[in-house]
Amino acid sequence: MIVTLTDTTSAKVESRLVDVREKGGAVALGRVLTLVILPDDRQGAERAIRTANGASYEHPMRVIVAMPDGEGEAGLDAEIRVGADAGASEVVVLQPRGGAGSSAASLVTAMLLPDAPIVTWWPQSPPSNPGEDLMGSLSQRRITEAARCADPLRALANLAHGYTPGDTDLSWSSLTLWRALLAAALDESDNIAVDSVRVTGDAGLPAASLLSGWLQVSLDCPVELSDDASGALTEVRMDTAAGPIVLHRPNGSTVATLSRPGRTDQKVSLPRRDNEVALIEELRRLDPDEIYGRVLTQTVTAR
């Protein structure tokens, strides 16, 4: 169900949302957080809403989308989405115009769930310092998506310089399976010392920089990033005194090969993670991700 409101206010939208739930029978209980989405345009907003709707089946929430200020006479239009159009969440899309949207926080505040965590997500172009953004300063977690920026590596570097505990990027959570498999491989090899590492993949991806940085911070050894312009991560090779440990995933495959000294090669599941899975993971923890912070500030700023 989608309800459209024109020339309204945030307080009226909240009141109508309650009315829609009561008349439509939409479930209002169990909302665990408020997710505020700050897109650049309608296309980015709809993509983010679809992702949030999928994530809502694990994290029932209120989703508030604050669109950029539009042209026209000052005012506010809104959409309320519940039921099949909102997954297990309730979605409010706010479209300010004529200067009414100069501050997303002022539009959103009246609709925040009481006593519930706030997460803000920029699905396109984030501010250089999300923690200093007014909406970001109200949030326990701030999610960015550097990979969607015009210059992803520049955006990642800006985020590193402006990092505040509680910041994270979806490129980081996309690496969870890579990090888990590599850590397990080292653990099974009795944590043998690694002399050097080579990461192969598309060097233009924030994920490639973050994975290289994590290996550098974790292993305290030289890490080389070899660009193959593949549009993905394809291999990590860790050289040890006993021989190389290699995790190789052909581009486009969901299965990787793990090679270790003295062992038979092993096939392991390593699918590319979509944004829905990455968002689900980020919403599982609302405390600062200290490892991400270390990797971002200690390695990305140095590049």
Same domain, 80 and 142: yes
pLDDT number for residue 219: 95
Report the CATH number that the domain containing residue 182 is assigned in CATH.
Answer: 3.40.30
| Same domain flag for 256 and 156 | no
Residues 6 or more apart in contact with residue 226 via CB below 8 angstroms: 198, 199, 200, 201, 203
As a whole number, mean pLDDT of residues 124-151 equals 95
State the pTM of this model: 0.93
Burial class (CB in 10 A: 0-12, 13-18, 19+), 12: middle
Is residue 33 domain-resident? yes
Give yes or no: residues 70 and 39 share one domain.
yes
Which pLDDT value is given to residue 100? 75
Q: What percent of the chain has pLDDT over 70?
A: 96
Q: Is residue 49 part of a domain?
A: yes
Nearest in space to 168 (alpha carbons), one of 112, 135, 120: 120
Q: Which string of DSSP letters, residue by residue, matches 255-293? A: EEEEE-TTS--EEEE-PPPPHHHHHHHHHT--S--HHHH
135 and 232 inside one domain = no
What mean pLDDT value characterizes the chain? Answer: 92
pLDDT tens digits, 236-293: 999 999 999 999 999 989 999 999 998 999 999 999 999 999 999 999 989 999 999 9
Is there a single domain that holds both residue 39 and residue 65? yes
Which of 185, 133, 190 has the alpha carbon at shortest distance from 162?
133
Residue 26 counted as domain residue: yes
> Do 15 and 60 share a domain, yes or no?
yes
Determine, yes or no, domain membership for 181: yes
Do residues 132 and 112 make contact, with C-beta atoms less than 8 angstroms apart? no
Provide the pLDDT confidence category of residue 156 given band limits of 50, 70 and 90: very high
Which residue has 């409010």 as its token pair?
A: 92
Q: Which among 117, 140, 169 is the end of a domain? A: 169
Percentage of the chain with pLDDT > 90?
76
Confidence tier at 25 by pLDDT (50, 70, 90): low
Pair 220, 237 in one domain: yes
Whether 196 and 74 share a structural domain? no
**Residues 164 and 183 grouped into a single domain:** no
Alpha-carbon distance of 60 to 47, in angstroms, equals 18
Question: pLDDT (tens digit, 9 = 90+) per residue, 194-245?
Answer: 999 999 999 999 999 999 999 999 999 999 999 998 899 999 999 999 999 9
Residue 53, domain extent: 2-169
Q: Do 22 and 93 lie in a common domain?
A: yes
Partners of 41 in the β-ladder: none
- Residue 302 confidence (pLDDT) above 60: no
| Structural contact between residues 122 and 38, judged by C-beta atoms closer than 8 angstroms | yes
In a domain, 207, yes or no: yes
Q: For the chain, what is the domain count?
A: 2
Looking at 131, 150, 169, the residue that finishes a domain is: 169
Cα 69 to Cα 94, 133, 146, 159, 174: the distances in Å are: 10, 16, 22, 24, 31
Task: Look at phi and psi of residue 252 and say left if phi exceeds 0, alpha if psi is from -120 to 50, else beta.
Answer: left
Q: Give the tens place of pLDDT for each residue, 28-58.
A: 556 789 999 999 999 999 999 999 999 999 9
Picking from 42-46, 72-76, 187-191, 292-296, which range would have the lowest pLDDT averaged per residue?
187-191
**Angle separating helix axes 42-55 and 275-283, nearest 10 degrees:** 60
157 and 189, same domain (yes or no): no
Per the domain annotation, does 277 fall within a domain?
no
The pLDDT value recorded for residue 99 is: 82
**34, 107 Cβ separation under 8 angstroms:** no
- Residue at 300 is within a domain: no
CA 220 – CA 243 distance, rounded (Å)? 18
**Nearest alpha carbon to residue 218 among 248, 253, 194:** 194
Q: How confident is the model at residue 72 (pLDDT cuts 50, 70, 90)?
A: confident
Q: How confident is the model at residue 129 (pLDDT cuts 50, 70, 90)?
A: very high
| 44 and 118 part of one domain | yes
27 vs 244: which has the higher pLDDT: 244
Q: Is residue 35 part of a domain?
A: yes
Residue 236: the pLDDT is 98
pLDDT category of residue 79 using cuts at 50, 70 and 90: very high
